[in-house]
Structure 1
Amino acid sequence: MKLATRILFAAIATTTAMMAGGGAWAQAYPTKPITLVVAYPAGGDTDVLARLLAEKLSARLRQSVVVENRTGAAGTIGSAYVAKSAPDGYTLLVAPNTVAIAPLVLKNGTGASYDVRNDFTPIAQLGVQSLFVVVNKGTGITKLPELVTRAKAGTVQTYATPGNGSPMHILGEMFNKAAGVNIAQVPYRGSAPAVVDVLGGQVPMTYSTLGAVTQYVATGAIVPLAVADMKRSPFAPNVPTLAELGYKDVEVGAWQALMAPKGLPPELVKTLNTHVNDILKMPDVGGAHGNHRHHARWRRARYAGQADCIGLDALRQDRQGVRHPGRLTD
């Protein structure tokens, strides 16, 4: 099965390349507040990114830009809302890669009411992030082999994710398969509540971006065991990669993109794309960081074939209770 995210990134590149010069509509835009929809609760990575983007866009466009959280159903509720909105540039989606994956893994009858390939206009890629294997310090685990041993012994039984079909969910299933363990997913409505329960000890571990847990790693409340990259993160150089630890094919990343409903006029795509890319170059945003640019290019090249490594069909079976009956819930 082809990965939907490959199509989305190709669409972003194609849309940007085909954009013509701005017209009168683009010159007048915006004439009213713009809403950035986030399909997850406040406090998570995508929400934080959206609020930073809203602040910067508001200053550049001289118009109010607000963030609206529309949560539920692995992010598909908020995504569907934007897909069905008017393509006028006033309702946009700040979306993680879950927007492309979740519709493929939700069980029959609860699938998303949108097609990521046909119902959106891609505007710009916002960021690419590494995922880390992290545990609550109360587990006493400090090394990945200890986690595997504990999981096989049945003392580590669950991991938290931001929801079904998230990159963290895919990583969890890939690691289960590679390590020969059966750690069950506990899906939440976003990364923020997932991290909260790991901090509280309700769930012993999660797969997370570094940004979502940085403050807790700094205090020692959460312990990073490995990064799911083929290279160490420049932001956590002391954390080994899963490849270094023997799991060479377990590599998953997270990305975010700005999207609009299908049919957004090319001149508005150009206007928004230009502003967003200028914002990403700002030092306080981090878009100009050389290591990040290199890492992002490398990540995009690696990401295209990840779903086939475990098979999205396998994840659909998981949702239907074939592999782990009764494990996953909405």
Structure 2
Amino acid sequence: MTHLVSRSRRAVTTLLAGMALSGLAQAAGFSAKPITIVVAFPAGGDTDVLARILAEKLTPRLGQPVIVENRTGGSGVIGTTFVARSQPDGHTLLLAPNTIAITPHVLQTSAAKINPAQDLTPITQLASQSLFVVVEKSTGVNSIKELISSNKAGKLQTYASPGSGTPMHILAELFDKAAGTKFQQIPYRGSAPAIADLIGKHVPLMYSTLGPMEQHLKAGSLKALAVADAVRSPFLPQVPTLAELDYPSAQVGAWQALFGPKNMPADVVETINKHCNEILKMPEVVERMTTMSIQAKGGTPAQMQALAQSDYEKYSKLVKEFNIRAD
């Protein structure tokens, strides 16, 4: 009898919890239809994986399905434009890296001209990623000083990038300007083929986030010389910052953030933001992001809007300064 009462109480508790979640979703202006998180890049990348983690955790909290849809093409423009033109009811969201603040200036087409701070609704920053200066082991280069000397001596002359206009490309330009070097970019269609050629000794140098490089760094086939952040990375604390090495202007990072269409209702934005901030503190989520060498962030919509606007303006100037164009 006691066992039956206990089971009944658990059933009632579960029902009430479900009703509370459903009520919260309805109070925030949601209907019962699924919520879609659009990723403007192929499945399997950091942005896609992060979107799937978020969707998995949001589904029970909102009491309705949250799915991920990859709308690729146009350097992210197709997916971004789709969300920008969607109804601002909270059912269509965009999870995007900070290339969203760079691409409009690089492509210079009417379709690409979306300012994420003004033409979308910033909801929250989800994560940050550091960029590293990495060389292939057989170069024999063990420090930034040696890298600079080698370039000026006419030895190491090229670097691989995941594409023109990426944060990695911009970091390379900033480093060249600060150090007085001149490395020639070899752009690839994404990080995977670039890293393959780096490992294969076809190119000696690459600027990259840690995730795709980590296994090769551990194996000793690659070496990280510096990180382009204000502080050292918790994932590779032994690696100095470029600022420590007297190149403070060569500082570029990467972030991932959640956006919605312009003019989303404030209560919907607040609800999604609240859940995202709580999800980013969940130990299992932090652990999964750590395995990807990504730092969980969080924050307010206003903070994300300020970051997106600041980066949009900063990259506009840098793209013009270095005359960066699409591949």
Length-normalised TM-score, structure 2: 0.76
Structure 1 equivalent of residue 263 of structure 2: 263
Percent same amino acid at aligned positions?
54
User: After alignment, is 184-193 or 170-179 more displaced?
Assistant: 184-193
Instruction: Give 1:110 deviation, angstroms.
Output: 7.1
1:323 corresponding residue in structure 2:
none
Q: Which residue of 2 aligns with 1:217?
A: 217
- CA distance in 1: counterparts of 2:173 and 2:40, whole angstroms: 23
For 2:77, give the aligned amino acid: T
RMSD of aligned Cα (Å)? 3.6
Give the counterpart letter for 2:208 in structure 1: S
For residues 22-80 of structure 1, the C-alpha deviation after alignment (integer angstroms, 9 at most, x for no partner) is 98744573523322222223333222222221222234334333323333343233222
**SS of the residue aligned with 1:267?**
helix
1:203 match: 203
User: What residue is the counterpart of 2:105 in the other structure?
Assistant: 104
Q: Which residue of 1 aligns with 2:35?
A: 34
Give 1:225 deviation, angstroms.
0.8
Conservation of the 8 A alpha-carbon contact between 1:128 and 1:254 = yes
Distance 1:149 1:266, change over 3 A: same
CA contact (8 A) 1:197 1:203 kept: yes
Is the alpha carbon distance of 1:160 and 1:53 closer, same or farther for their aligned partners in structure 2, counting shifts above 3 Å?
farther
Flag the 1:87–1:286 CA change in 2: closer, same or farther, 3 A.
same
Superposition deviation, residue 89 in structure 1: 2.0
1:315 aligns with 2:287: no
Q: Please state how far the C-alpha of 1:121 moved relative to its aligned partner.
A: 0.7
Give the aligned partner of residue 60 of structure 1. 61
The answer as to whether partners of 1:124 and 1:273 remain within 8 angstroms in 2 is: yes
Pick closer, same or farther for the CA change 1:306–1:35 going to 2, 3 Å: closer
1:126-148 alpha-carbon deviations (Å, 9 max, x no partner): 01222111123343333222222
Structure 1 residue 218: deviation in Å? 1.7
CA deviation after TM superposition for structure 1 residue 203, in Å: 3.5
**Does the CA-based 8 Å contact 1:44-1:192 persist in structure 2?**
no
Distance of aligned partners of 1:153 and 1:24 in 2 relative to their CA distance in 1, 3 Å threshold: closer
Whether the aligned pair in 2 keeps the contact of 1:74 and 1:189 (CA below 8 Å) is no
Change (3 A) 1:232 1:89: same
Provide Cα deviations, 1:198-252, integer angstroms capped at 9, x if missing partner.
3344433222222332222222232211011232222211111112222122222
Instruction: Tell me how far apart the structure 2 counterparts of residues 188 and 26 of structure 1 sit (CA, whole Å).
Output: 47
Return the alpha-carbon distance in structure 2 between the equivalents of residues 24 and 51 of structure 1: 20
Q: Secondary structure at the match of 2:212?
A: helix
> 1:119 Cα shift?
1.6
Instruction: Report matched runs for 1:141-156 at 5 Å.
Output: 141-156=141-156
Q: Which amino acid aligns with 1:140?
A: G
1: CA distance, partners of 2:308 / 2:115: 20
- Alpha-carbon distance, 1:94 to partner: 0.8
Aligned partner of 2:165 in structure 1 is 165
Structure 1: distance between partners of 2:143 and 2:271: 48
- Which one-letter code corresponds to 2:165 in the other structure? G
Shift of 1:317: 5.3
Instruction: Return the offset for 1:116.
Output: 2.2
Residue 127 to residue 138, structure 1, CA distance change in 2 (3 Å): same
Q: Is the CA contact 1:30–1:61 (under 8 Å) kept in the aligned structure 2?
A: no
Do the aligned partners of 2:120 and 2:260 also contact (CA within 8 Å) in 1?
yes
Quote the residue 1:117 is aligned against: 117
1:250: which partner in 2?
250
Alpha-carbon distance between aligned partners in 2 of 1:218 and 1:189, rounded to the nearest angstrom: 25
Distance 1:265 1:306 in 2: 25
In 2, the alpha carbon distance for the partners of 1:306 and 1:25 equals: 34
Could you tell me how far apart the structure 2 residues matched to 1:121 and 1:307 are?
14
Between the aligned partners of 2:308 and 2:228, the Cα distance in structure 1 is 12
Alignment match, 1:285 = 285
| 8 Å CA contact retained: 2:175, 2:250 | yes
1:7 is aligned to none
The AA in structure 1 aligned to 2:85 is K
What corresponds to 2:71 in structure 1?
Answer: 70
CA distance in 1, matches of 2:41, 2:178: 29
Q: Is the 8 A contact 1:26 1:271 kept in 2?
A: no
Change (3 A) 1:262 1:316: same
Which protein has the larger Cα radius of gyration, Structure 1 or Structure 2? 2
CA contact (8 A) 1:42 1:69 kept: yes
Secondary structure in 1 matching 2:130:
strand
Structure 2 runs not aligned, ≥5 long: 1-22
How far apart, in 2, do the equivalents of 1:119 and 1:113 lie?
A: 9
- Aligned partners of 2:65 and 2:195: how far apart in 1? 31
CA contact (8 A) 2:160 2:185 kept: yes
